[in-house]
Amino acid sequence: MPDKIKSRVDTLISNMSLRAKIGQLNQPETPTENNIEEFKEAVRRGEVGSILMSVGATAGNDAQGEINVDFYNELQKIAVEESPDGIPILFGRDVIHGHRTVFPIPLAMAASFNPELVCRCYRDTAIEATNDGVHWTFTPMLDLCHDPRWGRIIEGTGEDPYVGAGIAKAVVEGLQGDNLSNKDSMLACAKHFIGYGASEGGRDYHRTEISDYSLFNYYLPAFRAAIKAGALTVMSSFNDVSGQPVTSSRKYLTDILRGNLGFEGFVVSDYDAVIQLIKQGVAETPEQCAAMALNAGLDMDMHDKCYIDNLETAVKKGVISESVIDEAVRRVLTVKIRAGLFEHPYTEKKTIDRSKHLADAREMAAESIVLLKNNGVLPIDKNSKVGLIGPFANERRSLLGSWTIDGKAEETSTLSEKMREEIGGNLNVINSAALAWDSTNKNIAAADVVVLALGESWTATGESRAVSDITISAEQKALIKKAKTYGKKTVGVLFCGRPIAIEEIAEDLDAVVYAWHTGSEAAGAVSDILFGVKTPCGRLPVTLPRKATHIPLYYNVTSSGRPVNCYYGENPGNCYVDSMPTPYYPFGYGLTYTTFDYSKPVCNNSKLSLQEVKNGKKFDISVFVTNKGENSGKETVQLYIHDACAGMMRPLRELKGFKKAEISAGKTVKIDFELSYDELGFYDEKGNYIVEKGKFEVFVGKDCLTNNSLEIEII
C-alpha cells in the first residue's frame, strides 16, 4: 500500500468511533418505500459502508427495476456531508454479463476462447454501469464446475482452470480499466471463494468435498489470476468445504486467500451468509456468527446485519478485539480510496452511444456460438426457402439469460426477425405445435431447410435453479422427430444456459448450432452464422455428455489404474455396461465452415535441465496449420500436456495454451507456444508449487482428444 494512502486511512480510523467503524463493514440492500427515512438516518449516523443495489437473495432471477441515480446521489450526499466522518458509500450491483447491453452469459463467453474480446466487452459494461452509479460489481464468477445440473454453471467459465484464469484476468482488466480511480472504472469482485461450484449433486448451497490438492490445482488458479490482475474484492462462498463453512474459516479466507494468493483487498460475504453459520451448526447466536466471520477474515457483511447489530457487544465482552475491526475497516477504506470514491462520490449521468457496445455484443455472441455438427447444410443459401419452427423462434427474454438485471427484453430481437432481415419472404415461421402437424403440411413441404429453434428458459438457470435432468423438454424432442419425417435438411439451434445431455437430439439433426443464451445480439449472431455472414469459431469450455447419468464428466481427469480411462475411449464398456460413457462432444470441440490440417508439432529444445527451466528457459513448441477448405475461418489451436510420471497423480490432459488464428482459404500459418516453469508444475496439498524432472507428452490440436503429439523432458 502506498504510504500516502496508508497515512490517509490511519487518519480516518483514528477519528472514527467504534460504531462508525462497524458501519463501514455493513452492507444493507436498497431500502424500500417502507424504510427510506429510517435508512437515511442510518446513513447519517455513519452505519452504512456499502449498499447492495438490489433487493432479495436471488437478484439475478427477480425483477429489480431501473436504477434511480438521483436517489443514490441523495444517499451519497448524506454520507459525505452529514455523517460523522464523511466517508462515501460504495454502491454494488450484480452486473454479471452486461448492463443495458447484455453480452453472452459468462460460460458462453468462455466458449469464445478470446480473452481480448472478453476484456473489451467488460470495458463496455463498466462504461454503462458506472454511468448509472454502480461502483462495484460482483463478478467475475470463478467457480469451476463439473456438474451442469447446478444452475449457476452459466455464470462461470466451465471445467478448466486454465481457461478460468484467462477469463478472470480479462474480466478484471476490462472492468477496472487502465486506472481504477477513473469515473468509468468499476471494482471487480472475484467470487465465490471457494468451491461453491462443487456443490454436491449440483444442488445449490449444498456441501462440498474438496481435497487441498484439488483445491490448489483446480479451484484456485482462476482466483490467483484475478488477484494478480488487480481484483481488490473477493466474495466468500455460502458452502462448506469438507465440513468447514468458508464464512468462518480462517484457513480459507486468511491463510490461503491472503497468505498463499497474496490478496490485499477486502472480503465481502454472500447474501445472509454470516447468519447462516447458525443453520450450518457452528454457531449458536448472531454475536458468535459475527465474531467467527470477522476473525476468519471476512470484512464486510452483506445484508443480514450481523456485524452492525452484534460487533459492539462482542468487543465489550472481549469476544473480539477492536484491532481486528480496525484491520477490516482499513481494507475497506483502502479500496474506496483506490477506487477514487472520495474524489468523485457522485454520479454525473451522461448520454452513452451504445452502438459500439451492441457491435461488440454481436461479435462476442458470434464467437461464442459453437457449431457441433454440419452435414453440409450450413451455411444456408440465402435463396433457399427456410422454415423456422420451435419455442425460441419468437423468444426474446431467454436470449438474454439469467443474471440480467438491467437488460431489456423488449429491446432484444427475435430469431425470426433477424432471419427475415437476411432472407425476407424466403422465411416462413411455422406454428411450433408439433403434434398438430399433419403429414402434408404445406409449409414444411415448401421448405428447402428447416431450422428448429430450441433450448431452455432463462428461468431454469441461475441461482437456486438446479435441475435433475440436463436435457431439453420431451415436447422439443418430439418436435425434432416430427420435423425429420418430412425428409428435409434440418438444423437445430440450441439456446441453452448450461451444457445439456445431447444424445437423442444430435442424431436426428443435420446440423447442430449451440447458441447458448448470448445476450442482446443473440438472434443477429445466430442469423449471421446460419447464413454464412460469420463463420462459427466457438469451442466448448465444458464437456457435452451423452446422458445426464454420466455426470460428472470432464476432460482433465487423472488416470485409472485399470484400463478404463473412458473419456479417452479406453474400454468404455467397462465404465458402464448399459451405455457409452465417452463424451458426445469433448472439451475444446467445435467446427467451422472449412477444414484445418495440422502438422506434427515440433520443439527445437526438447530437453532442458530443471535448473534451466527454473532460470526462465522455455520449451518452444510450434505447429503449422493449413486451411484446406474454400472459406476463411478461425481456428483455436489448443496445447495440452500430460506429466507422465510425477510425485502426485496428474491429469491425462491439461490445457496449457491456446491461440485463436484467422486463416484464409489455402493458407498455412505457423502457431508458436512456450512452455515454461509456470506451466509445467503443480501444487502439493500445502500449496507449494513443484516442478519435477521427467517426461511430458505435449498435444497440439483441435480439442482435448487430439493425438497429435511430441515428447519433451526436464532432465
Residue carrying C-alpha cell 520443439 = 603
Give start and end residues of each alpha helix (H) in 485-593. 522-530
Neighbouring residues of 371: CB distance < 8 A, sequence distance ≥ 6 = 378, 511, 512, 513, 514, 529, 536, 538, 590, 591, 592, 593
Beta strand pairing call for 511-514 and 619-627: unpaired
Q: What burial class does residue 203 get, using C-beta atoms within 10 Å of its C-beta: 0-12 exposed, 13-18 middle, 19+ buried?
A: middle
Residue whose entry in the numeric block shows the C-alpha cell 527454473 = 614
Question: What is the spatial distance between Cα 438 and Cα 436, in angstroms, rounded to a whole number?
Answer: 6
- The four Cα atoms 199, 201, 207, 208 give a dihedral, to 10 degrees, of -60
| Calpha distance 250→362 (Å, rounded) | 44
Phi-psi region for residue 462, left (φ > 0), alpha (ψ -120 to 50) or beta? left
Provide the sign of the torsion angle of the four alpha carbons 677, 679, 680, 683, taken in this order. Answer: positive
Which letter, b or e, does each residue of 316-333 get, where b requires 16 or more Cβ atoms within 10 Å of its Cβ?
Answer: eeebbebebbbebbbbbb
Handedness of CA 164, 166, 170, 176 (dihedral sign): positive
| Residues contacting residue 250 through CB under 8 Å, at least 6 positions apart | 295, 296, 297
C-alpha cell at 547: 446422458
- Residue 440: helix, strand or coil by DSSP? coil
Burial of 7 (0-12, 13-18, 19+ CB in 10 A): exposed
Q: Which residue has the cell 452505519?
A: 47
Active site residue 270: yes
Question: How far does Cα 560 stand from its chain's mean position?
Answer: 30
Distance CA 315, CA 290 (A): 11
- The catalytic residue among 270, 304, 406, 703 is 270
> Which helix H or strand E contains 43, and what residues bound it?
helix 36-44
Judge contact between 437 and 482, C-beta under 8 A.
yes
Residues 6+ apart with CB under 8 A from 700: 598, 601, 621, 623, 637, 638, 639, 640, 671, 673, 706, 708, 709
Run of H or E including 624: strand 619-627
34-43 burial, b at 16+ Cβ within 10 Å, e below that, comes to eeeeebbebb
Largest CA distance in the chain: 83
- CA within 13 Å, CB half, 171: 36
Residue 577 is which amino acid?
V
Report the distance separating Cα 206 and Cα 209, nearest Å: 10
3-state SS assignment for residue 240: strand
Residue 568, class by beta-carbon neighbours within 10 Å (0-12 exposed, 13-18 middle, 19+ buried)? Answer: middle
Q: How many CB atoms lie within 10 A of CB 210?
A: 16
Query: How many residues make up the chain in this entry?
Result: 715
Chain position carrying cell 510425477: 646
Which residues make Cβ contacts (< 8 Å) with residue 283, sequence separation at least 6? 248, 277, 289, 292
Q: Which positions are catalytic?
A: 270
